Amino acid sequence: MSPKPLRLGVNVDHVATVRNARGGPRPDPVRAALLAIEAGADGITAHLREDRRHITDADMARLKAAISKPLNFEMAATDQMLDVALATAPHAVCLVPEKRTERTTEGGLDVVGGHDYFIPFVDELSRAGVRVSLFIEPSLEAIDAAVSIKAPVVELHTGAWCHAVEVGDHDRAEREFARVVEAAAYGAERGLEIHAGHGLDYDTARRVSALPQIVELNIGHFLIGEAIFVGLEEAISRMRRAMEEGRAQAP
Ligand SMILES: CC(=O)[C@@H](O)[C@H](O)COP(=O)(O)O
Ligand SMILES: NCC(=O)COP(=O)(O)O
């Protein structure tokens, strides 16, 4: 059976990070989203953090109004964010953990300890026609919890693997990648749609694209950084090529 098509979701958070450094209107994450779609992005991801350190409520509303591709609204599981998400009516919501003090998303959602807490969020968003995904650690326990919470999609947090690659800790990187491989297969066997994201670059995106169960990668920080040097269109084209090369290796 040929592997399923692999989608690229481009996260525009860090266009807003650069904009907010000066407090003006530029660079505009909506302009970046439109360019990303022209360059081949299958969707746009944006993380409305509680502290609004990058994407703002207005950005999210403008993204929803402007883009022709699906909007993946990342948010913490809070009543306030739920209200914003329901008012925005995105294609999808991804529930992610947040800590005020974190520099970036550090781990996956605590779907084991917080199991019952997440059920109403998944219920209400699903009833509103929003596709819900849970941003989780690549672990079998987290997969089981996601199935029990009845979320149709999980996004496997690839940050630990990508960080180990980045710092040259080969043994740790291989252990972390093995967790991603196992969780992707285990989750797909249990009927979940499998996404992956956080910290991916061309090489790690190529490698993870070879996992046939994974149908969407959400990539932001690396692409926005690359765009500074080669332009956003070229960075996305190179990422698409890397994903296609990886997918060609899929069993
Ligand atoms: C959940 C996820 O991995 C991304 O949304 C990531 O959080 C990018 O935003 P930050 O860099 O602000 O964490
Ligand atoms: N959910 C992952 C995401 O949207 C982008 O993460 P990153 O590539 O900015 O680390």
Binding-site positions for 3-amino-2-oxopropyl phosphate: 11, 22, 199, 220-221
Cα(177)–Cα(226) distance, rounded to whole angstroms?
Answer: 24
**Cβ atoms 8, 40 nearer than 8 A:** yes
Active-site residue list: 47, 74, 198
**Cβ atoms 163, 124 nearer than 8 A:** no
Concatenated DSSP letters for 135-148? EE-S-HHHHHHHHH
What whole-number percentage of the chain has pLDDT above 90? Answer: 93
**Cβ atoms 200, 158 nearer than 8 A:** yes
DSSP class of 72: E
pLDDT band of 138, cuts 50, 70, 90: very high
Q: Does residue 103 register a pLDDT over 90? A: no
The reported pLDDT for the residue numbered 1 is 58
> Which residue segments constitute the domains of the chain, with CATH numbers given?
7-247 (3.20.20.70)
Q: Does residue 2 register a pLDDT over 80? A: no
Cα of 15 from ligand 1 centre, angstroms: 12
Q: Kindly state the tokens that stand for 7.
A: 């989608």
Return the number of other C-beta atoms located less than 10 Å from residue 37's C-beta: 18
Omega prior to 27 cis, within 30 of 0: yes
Pocket of ligand 1 (CB under 6 A): 11, 13, 47, 54, 74, 96, 104-105, 135, 197-198, 220-221
Helix or strand or coil: residue 50? coil
The reported pLDDT for the residue numbered 26 is 98
From 132, 168, 165, select the one nearest 149 (Cα to Cα).
132
pLDDT band of 37, cuts 50, 70, 90: very high
